[in-house]
Amino acid sequence: MPLLGAAAWSDGGTLTEQLAHRGVSRRDFLEFCGSLAVVLGLGRDAAAQVAQGLESPQRPPVIWIQLQECTGCVESVLRSAEPTIGDLVLDMVSLEYSHTIMAASGHAAEKALADSMAKHKGKYILLVTGSVPLAEDGIYLTIGGRTAKVILEEAAAGAAAVIAVGACAHFGSVQAARPNPTGAVGVGDIIKDKPVVNIAGCPPIADVVTATVAHFLTFGRLPSVDADGRPLFAYGARIHDQCPRRANFDAGQYVEVFDDEAARKGWCLYKVGCKGPATFSPCPIFQWNSGTSWPIGAGHPCIGCTERNFWDTMTPFYGRLPDVGGFGIEQRVDLIGAALAIGATAGVAAHAVATGVHQHRERQRQRQLPIAGQGPGEPPASPPSNPTGGA
């Protein structure tokens, strides 16, 4: 359908204007619409309606490829509330390819992908979920007989924007945890010639994905990101600094063991392993599933799933973060981020510097013993004594 191919959504101008510019007459266009109307079962009389539809602005094309993953990120986007997934797919964008919900399979599906990439070259938004297994020349994932790496490189080449959705596309997630048997890496490890935005999380909150797409469509560029490629509008704040239980932390009111009296009062989960002090995520602000709750809100410590390599750096999940202290808040991202990236001891940021309770932090730091050997597989240290003396 070469006529449709000319109707690039972001070129500006109506289809008719664009066609005229390309030397296609109004008569030829209406003839085409008549044929299309017949194909669609509407009868030739509907040609004028089809023409009207085609002349209205095109929905921006989105291609979603799914690589080595669990499909949880797709499920998460299905829960999107504003916009709903129905509104998104029917009214806002044109989802050209999506394994999970597209009608066609096999050759018909692959043809839809190839056609769309050719038709919308340089124009489409590419969403990627899943990691790319590089070991053994990529034989740990093939689709249509081709490796994940080849599929990703081809799809990214013609993309206007590349959005890596979820922890697998971000850094490889669980399959990249030690010893990473399949050599799984994230999208940003493969695609180096254009920016890749990382929508971190295992899975991410749906609204962050849809908002990032909306940002690109509305402002014509991808959102600003932090050092790890995560949009600042969502990942710019630390969980610990936004947590409704922060007051309990500052007051030394901790859950010592699950379902104790403190747990039943909704006190701070730091001592049962909460990674909120080392995690940048919109969970406490956006919340999950139409604002219903979030992990800490449901009584479970944060496992740090928006941070790179969290399966190795944030485990054991019920082990307490050591207070390495000494960092100013401005330094935290780089210093702690670097420490996390090399799998070294994770650190709690100097929360007190940011919140003006410096003395409290110093007291706590002196009284708490860091957990030795926080690597995976180490049993967590036994609970420390109350660092604030029951303050």
Partner 1 sequence: MATKLVVDPITRIEGHLRIEVQTDRGRIDSAWASATQFRGIETIMKGRDPRDAWAFVQRICGVCTVVHAVASCRAVEDALGITIPANANLIRNLVHGMQFVQDHVIHFYHLHALDWVDVVSALKADPAGTARIAASLSPWPNNSATYFKSVQDRLAKFVKSGQLGIFTNGYWGHPAYKLPPDVNLLAVAHYLEALDWQRDVIRLHTIFGGKNPHPNFLVGGMASAINLDDTATINAERLVDIQAMIRRAQAFVEQVYYPDLIAIAGFYKDWASIGGGVPNFLACGEFPEGDIKDIDKLFFPRGIILDRDLSKVHPYDQKLVKEYITSSWYEYPGGDDQGLHPFEGETNPKYTGPKPPYEYLQDEKKYTWMKAPRYEGRAMQVGPLARMLVAYGSGHKEAQSLVGEVLKKLDVGPAALFSTLGRTAARGIETVMIARRMNSWFDQLVTRIKSGDTRTFDDSKWEPSKWPASSEGYGFLDAPRGALGHWVQIADGKVSRYQCVVPSTWNCSPRDANGQMGPYEASLVDNHPLADPERPLEILRTIHSFDPCLACGVHVLDGTGKTVAEVKVQ
Considering only residues 35-54, where is the footprint of partner 1 by CB under 8 A?
36, 40-42, 46, 49-50, 52-54
Is residue 290 a contact point for partner 1 (CB under 8 A)? yes
Q: Minimum distance between the CB of residue 264 and partner 1, rounded to whole angstroms?
A: 4
> Smaller CB distance to partner 1: residue 139 or 391?
139
- The single residue listed with the structure tokens 């340089």 is 122
Token digits of residue 289: 């599933």
> What single DSSP character describes residue 280?
B
Q: Minimum distance between the CB of residue 138 and partner 1, rounded to whole angstroms?
A: 7
Query: Mask of contacts with partner 1, 303-332, x by CB under 8 A?
Result: x-------x---xxxxx-------------
State how far the Cα of 132 lies from the Cα of 140, in Å rounded to an integer. 9
User: Which of 377, 385, 389, 390 lies at the binding interface for partner 1 (CB under 8 A)?
Assistant: 377
Residue span binding partner 1 (CB under 8 A) among the ranges 220-228, 285-293, 330-338, 350-358 = 285-293
> Smaller CB distance to partner 1: residue 28 or 330?
28
Length of the chain: 391
Angle at 219 between CA 14 and CA 56, to 5 degrees: 20
Contact yes or no for 186/169 (Cβ under 8 A):
yes
State how far the Cα of 167 lies from the Cα of 145, in Å rounded to an integer. 25
Contact yes or no for 222/216 (Cβ under 8 A):
yes
**Positive/negative CA dihedral, 211, 216, 221, 222:** positive
Residues 76-105 that bind partner 1 (CB under 8 A): 76, 78-81, 84-86, 89-91, 93-96, 98-105
Q: Minimum distance between the CB of residue 220 and partner 1, rounded to whole angstroms?
A: 20
- The single residue listed with the structure tokens 């799933």 is 305
Query: Mask of contacts with partner 1, 240-279, x by CB under 8 A?
Result: ----xx-----------xxxx--xxxx-------------
Q: Minimum distance between the CB of residue 98 and partner 1, rounded to whole angstroms?
A: 6
Q: Minimum distance between the CB of residue 125 and partner 1, rounded to whole angstroms?
A: 13
- Cα of first residue to Cα of last residue in the chain, in angstroms, is 72
DSSP per-residue letters across 314-352: S-STTSPPP------HHHHHHHHHHHHHTT-------HH
Q: Minimum distance between the CB of residue 106 and partner 1, rounded to whole angstroms?
A: 4
Q: Minimum distance between the CB of residue 380 and partner 1, rounded to whole angstroms?
A: 7
User: Which of 158, 343, 380, 384 lies at the binding interface for partner 1 (CB under 8 A)?
Assistant: 380
Q: Minimum distance between the CB of residue 8 and partner 1, rounded to whole angstroms?
A: 12
Residues 109-168 that bind partner 1 (CB under 8 A): 109-112, 116, 133, 136-147, 150
Residues 175-234 that bind partner 1 (CB under 8 A): 175, 177-182, 184, 202-203, 205
Cis peptide before 83, with omega less than 30 degrees from 0? yes
Number of residues that bind partner 1 (CB under 8 A): 119
> What single DSSP character describes residue 91?
I
> Smaller CB distance to partner 1: residue 326 or 379?
379
The amino acid present at 363, given as its one-letter code, is R
Strand 61-66 with 124-129, pairing = parallel
State how far the Cα of 113 lies from the Cα of 199, in Å rounded to an integer. 23
State how far the Cα of 18 lies from the Cα of 211, in Å rounded to an integer. 30
Token digits of residue 263: 């747990």
Contact yes or no for 316/373 (Cβ under 8 A):
no
> Smaller CB distance to partner 1: residue 115 or 354?
115
On the 0-12 / 13-18 / 19+ scale of CB atoms within 10 A, 137 is: exposed
Q: Minimum distance between the CB of residue 363 and partner 1, rounded to whole angstroms?
A: 26
> Smaller CB distance to partner 1: residue 205 or 348?
205
Q: Minimum distance between the CB of residue 293 and partner 1, rounded to whole angstroms?
A: 5
Beta partners for 198? 164
Residues 60-79 that bind partner 1 (CB under 8 A): 61, 68-76, 78-79
Residue span binding partner 1 (CB under 8 A) among the ranges 18-26, 172-180, 212-220, 221-229 = 172-180
Is residue 339 a contact point for partner 1 (CB under 8 A)? no
